Chain A
Amino acid sequence: EDQVTQSPEALRLQEGESSSLNCSYTVSGLRGLFWYRQDPGKGPEFLFTLYSAGEEKEKERLKATLTKKESFLHITAPKPEDSATYLCAVQTSGTYKYIFGTGTRLKVLA
């Protein structure tokens, strides 16, 4: 069965304290892996798409990487405005469907 697991469930960081969020997946065939950011009371906001192992994408303080079994979202020198829930989703080959993980709630303290 296709499955996506995110860890940790929650993470508290001091401003400037870098860390990584993990997304592990078990799927029959990966078409793409997606990272979203969700703020309270809002819909998920697209961040990155990764398609193949070894691929990396960057945006400001965020960097996403992909291996054959997991993806990492690295946050470098985070700021309080980076506080949000980060969601990972996988899309399997031949389908339009996403399977979402349950997310990591990130809190960055000033």
Chain B
Amino acid sequence: DAGVIQSPRHEVTEMGQEVTLRCKPISGHNSLFWYRQTMMRGLELLIYFNNNVPIDDSGMPEDRFSAKMPNASFSTLKIQPSEPRDSAVYFCASSFLEETQYFGPGTRLLVL
């Protein structure tokens, strides 16, 4: 069974550009999580969905960040406009209800 799939794996963009990160959760999982990982702050939860509905977005840094989950097999995290301080690795994870979260390989974002 395929794990969590993320794309792109690497993204380099210029400040001010829109960035869209994509995630396909494990089939059958109904919870999806977006994390950001940096050396300074470690893994931080940005937002999570349950049954495609955003439950907690308190970790979203500011209005430049938005996330959607239009169906059970797809989610996006969008940054518009991007800034150099958004450079980080962004992970998507999925779980069934409150059970163990399984992580994707991450998207390494560099904003110049």
Contact = CB atoms under 8 A, between A and B. Distances in A.
Contacts, number: 47
Contact of A103 (B42, B101, B106): B42
Contact of B45 (A31, A44, A98, A101): A98
Interface string A42-75: 1111100100000000000000000000000000
Interface residues of B, number: 24
Nearest to B44: A100
A46 B48 contact: no
A52 B45 CA distance: 24
Contacts of A36: 103
Nearest to B98: A96
Contacts of A96: 31, 33, 48, 50, 55, 95, 97-98
A87 B43 CA distance: 9
Interface residues of A, number: 21
A34 interface: yes
28 contacts: A31-B98, A34-B101, A36-B103, A41-B106, A41-B108, A42-B105, A42-B106, A43-B4, A43-B93, A43-B103, A43-B106, A44-B103, A45-B103, A46-B102, A95-B98, A96-B33, A96-B48, A96-B55, A96-B97, A96-B98, A97-B45, A97-B56, A98-B33, A98-B45, A98-B101, A100-B44, A101-B42, A102-B42
